[in-house]
């Protein structure tokens, strides 16, 4: 296989590899770096000796992602230059096929938040097996566990995900109706209407570079929304990781991304990303 054939073969795998990496590490920049490193490693081996290129590349990407996760754990004090998890934003119909493909492959932010809270070994076991169908014996070799222990890791991760990240309504129009009602109530200062579109146990998570602050309960979340009501007229509808959300603007500059998880016509979670340096970068790259 010559270099052109190798490059073409890799390009056919690029979208899937980027999706695998993003779901494991939760960062677009880290996912892109991971895919690039996988390409460099592929160039350093004899491709003729690779029986299954898709499997080989998946394994390489998973190993690189595992190193990234372990490095994060060993250096938690290091400042980040991106949100983790990092939302994928689309305000308008996209002209960037690669970005639209990544958005189409993304899982909801609420699920990505739960994945981010798993241990590195649990994340690999869950993402690779449940989302990409990688056999447990192959994952076991990556994390240096037995196949049975790996199966148990994935099972524990699965239970945690089901408990903390409910499946959102599949109808995007119904999601959008709830999000629109939320901002309409905020604009009008109608606390009761705000509470009505929130699940009683709703959780609002405010994401920063250094961590996540949580607020729980419909009335508490509604009152917090009332405090920020002055920005409600300056929000634009957006897709955030395939679900209905919004981007808030201040004097024309995006400063907050709000991702909603809607179940049974109520918001069960709201993830808010409001770093004034990072948000414009994400909205620019995704609009």
Of the candidates 164, 182, 208, which is a domain's last residue? Answer: 164
Please tell me whether residues 48 and 153 are part of one structural domain: yes
Whether 161 and 139 have beta carbons less than 8 Å apart is answered as no
- The reported pTM is 0.87
**Neighbouring C-beta atoms of residue 144, cutoff 10 Å:** 9
Distance of CA 75 to the CA centre of its chain: 22
Please tell me whether residues 89 and 106 are part of one structural domain: yes
**CATH number of the domain encompassing residue 218:** 3.10.450.50
Please tell me whether residues 191 and 152 are part of one structural domain: no
Tell me the per-residue pLDDT of 169-223, one tens digit each, with 9 for 90 and over. 989 999 999 999 999 999 999 999 999 999 999 999 999 877 789 999 999 999 9
**CATH number of the domain encompassing residue 22:** 1.20.140
Residues 6+ apart with CB under 8 A from 213: 205, 206
The dihedral over CA atoms of 101, 210, 155, 18, expressed in degrees to the nearest 10, equals: 20
Token pair 């991971």: residue: 34
Dist. CA 197–CA 179, nearest whole Å: 8
Whether 256 and 213 have beta carbons less than 8 Å apart is answered as no
Please tell me whether residues 115 and 200 are part of one structural domain: no
Burial per residue of 258-275, b for 16 or more beta-carbon CB atoms within 10 angstroms, e otherwise:
bbbbbbeebbbbbbbbbb
Of the candidates 129, 164, 199, which is a domain's last residue? Answer: 164
Please tell me whether residues 19 and 114 are part of one structural domain: yes
Please tell me whether residues 131 and 194 are part of one structural domain: no
**How many residues make up the chain in this entry?**
287
Of the candidates 164, 184, 200, which is a domain's last residue? Answer: 164
Range of the domain at 237: 172-286
Dist. CA 38–CA 27, nearest whole Å: 16
Please tell me whether residues 203 and 122 are part of one structural domain: no
Please tell me whether residues 141 and 56 are part of one structural domain: yes
Tally of domains within the chain: 2
Please tell me whether residues 117 and 246 are part of one structural domain: no
Please tell me whether residues 212 and 281 are part of one structural domain: yes
Tokens of 151: 């199966």
Residues 6+ apart with CB under 8 A from 238: 89, 90, 91, 245, 246, 247, 257
Please tell me whether residues 204 and 104 are part of one structural domain: no
Tell me the per-residue pLDDT of 222-240, one tens digit each, with 9 for 90 and over. 999 998 888 888 999 999 9
Please tell me whether residues 182 and 153 are part of one structural domain: no
Tens digits of pLDDT across the chain (287 residues): 677 888 999 999 999 999 999 999 999 889 999 999 999 999 999 888 898 999 999 999 999 999 999 998 876 655 556 788 899 998 864 556 666 666 666 788 999 999 999 999 999 999 999 999 999 999 999 999 999 999 999 999 999 998 888 889 989 999 999 999 999 999 999 999 999 999 999 999 999 877 789 999 999 999 999 988 888 889 999 999 989 999 999 989 999 999 999 999 999 999 999 998 999 999 976 55
Dist. CA 89–CA 80, nearest whole Å: 19
Q: At what angle do helices 278-286 and 97-105 cross, to 10 degrees?
A: 110
């Amino acid at each position: 296989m010559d270099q052109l054939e190798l490059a073409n073969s890799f390009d056919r795998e690029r979208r899937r590899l980027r999706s695998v990496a993003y779901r494991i590490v939760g960062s677009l920049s880290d996912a892109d770096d991971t895919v690039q490193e996988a390409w460099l490693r592929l160039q350093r081996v004899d491709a003729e000796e690779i029986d299954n290129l898709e499997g080989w590349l998946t394994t390489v990407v998973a190993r690189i992602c595992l190193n990234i996760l372990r490095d994060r754990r060993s250096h938690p004090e290091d400042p980040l230059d991106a949100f983790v998890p990092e939302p994928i934003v689309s305000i308008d119909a996209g002209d960037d096929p690669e970005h639209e493909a990544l958005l189409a492959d993304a899982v909801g932010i609420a699920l990505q938040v739960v994945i981010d809270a798993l241990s590195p070994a649990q994340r690999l076991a869950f993402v690779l097996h449940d989302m990409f169908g990688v056999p447990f014996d192959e994952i076991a070799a990556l994390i240096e566990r037995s196949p049975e222990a790996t199966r148990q890791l994935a099972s524990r991760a699965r239970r945690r995900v089901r408990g903390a990240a409910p499946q959102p309504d599949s109808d995007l129009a119904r999601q959008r109706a709830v999000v629109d009602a939320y901002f309409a109530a905020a604009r009008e200062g109608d606390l009761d209407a705000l509470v009505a579109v929130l699940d009683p146990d709703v959780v609002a998570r405010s994401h920063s570079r250094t961590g996540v602050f949580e607020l729980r309960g419909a009335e508490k979340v509604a009152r917090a929304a009332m405090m920020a009501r002055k920005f409600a007229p300056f929000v634009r509808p957006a897709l955030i990781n395939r679900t209905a959300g919004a981007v808030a603007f201040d004097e024309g500059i995006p400063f907050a991304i709000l991702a909603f998880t809607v179940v049974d016509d109520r918001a069960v979670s709201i993830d808010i990303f409001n770093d004034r340096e990072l948000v414009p970068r994400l909205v620019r790259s995704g609009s």
